[in-house]
């Protein structure tokens, strides 16, 4: 069970992905397993990105997106990149700042995002579902932009 602050963050993150109406994202929704709660972003090819609240504190350090992004079939870095853009555009109430981070013990860099609220910091660990052979071509939506005036409640 996560606290109220993390619960609000997950609702906001799912709402941001939904409000973006990205051409390759089928849905973004909350999920819960016996180990953690998070947001699952599902793409047209059924590739997935997960942003979840770790059940215990993890050590982090600031990290940037790679200068050269990996193949698109590995969606997790693209999901983080989009989330940062959505946070920058929407500036949702209750979230004052955010930063991409490297989470100790995980190879992917960045491997999460920290979101600062009035009540503290929530870490969302980022992991990907299996890439699929039915991958999309990002050039199909090269002219897509985050909608002007995007907001979430």
Structure confidence by residue, pLDDT tens digits, 99-119: 999 999 999 899 999 999 999
What does the block give as tokens for 144?
């897509």
**How far apart are the C-alpha atoms of 27 and 15, rounded to whole Å?**
10
The pTM (predicted TM-score) of the whole model is 0.94
Shortest CA distance to 124 belongs to which of 23, 34, 66, 41? 41
Residue with tokens 């090269």: 142
147: Cβ–Cβ under 8 A, 6 or more apart, which residues? 19, 20, 21, 89
- For residue 106, the 8-state DSSP code is -
Specify the pLDDT at position 133.
62
pLDDT band at 6 (very low <50, low <70, confident <90, very high): very high
Sign of CA dihedral 133, 135, 44, 71: positive
Coil, strand or helix: which one is 64?
A: coil
Give percent above pLDDT 90 in the chain.
78
Measured between alpha carbons, how far is 18 from 104 in angstroms, rounded to an integer? 30
């Amino acid at each position: 069970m996560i606290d109220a602050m993390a619960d609000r963050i997950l609702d906001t993150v799912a709402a941001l992905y939904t409000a973006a109406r990205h051409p390759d994202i089928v849905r973004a929704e909350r999920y819960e397993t016996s180990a953690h709660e998070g947001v699952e972003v599902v793409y047209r090819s059924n590739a997935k990105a997960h942003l979840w609240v770790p059940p215990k504190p993890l050590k982090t350090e600031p990290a940037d997106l790679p200068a050269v992004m990996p193949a698109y079939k590995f969606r997790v870095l693209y999901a983080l990149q989009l989330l940062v853009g959505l946070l920058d555009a929407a500036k949702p109430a209750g979230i004052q700042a955010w930063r991409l981070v490297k989470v100790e013990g995980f190879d992917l860099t960045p491997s999460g995002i920290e979101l600062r609220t009035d009540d503290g910091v929530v870490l969302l660990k980022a992991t990907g579902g299996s890439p699929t052979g039915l991958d999309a071509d990002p050039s199909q939506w090269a002219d897509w932009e985050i909608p002007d005036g995007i907001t979430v409640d």
